[in-house]
Amino acid sequence: NAGVTQTPKFQVLKTGQSMTLQCAQDMNHEYMSWYRQDPGMGLRLIHYSVGAGITDQGEVPNGYNVSRSTTEDFPLRLLSAAPSQTSVYFCASRPQGRANYGYTFGSGTRLTVV
């Protein structure tokens, strides 16, 4: 049982490049989310999803796209990377409607945009 798997763990991009951060979970969780973590800013919600085919914007969605074609996968796309997107990105999942459950987080992707 792998939990939430994020790839890659580290990435360096040049300004203007595009890329996709991968997130997969094998727990059949309905809910999935993407957060970014910046020093002094805590975790900020980028996009989230309640199930396949359904996504919604969080606090800081600009510059990012998501899709949810399957329950397992929730990729985050950076369309044209900017230095302001340098951050640590976390993907998380949890089952719907389970009392006392929190999100299970992946180990993070550290992204640097130069």
Partner 1 sequence: AQKVTQAQTEISVVEKEDVTLDCVYETRDTTYYLFWYKQPPSGELVFLIRRNSFDEQNEISGRYSWNFQKSTSSFNFTITASQVVDSAVYFCALSDRDRDDKIIFGKGTRLHILP
Q: Which residues bind partner 1 (CB under 8 A)?
A: 31, 33, 35, 40-45, 48-50, 56, 58-59, 88, 90, 92, 96, 99-105, 107-108
Residue 17: beta bridge partners?
none
Residue 106 CB partners (closer than 8 Å, separation 6+): 3, 4, 5, 6, 23, 90, 91, 92
Q: Could you give the CA distance from residue 30 to residue 26 in angstroms, rounded to a whole number?
A: 11
Q: How far is the CB of 85 from partner 1 (least distance, A)?
A: 19
Pairing of strands 54-57, 87-94: unpaired
User: Which residue's CB is nearer to partner 1, number 15 or number 59?
Assistant: 59
Kindly state the tokens that stand for 70.
């399957």
CB of 16 to partner 1, least distance (A): 28
Would you say 78 or 89 has its CB closer to partner 1? 89
Q: Between 2 and 14, name the residue whose CB sits nearer to partner 1.
A: 2
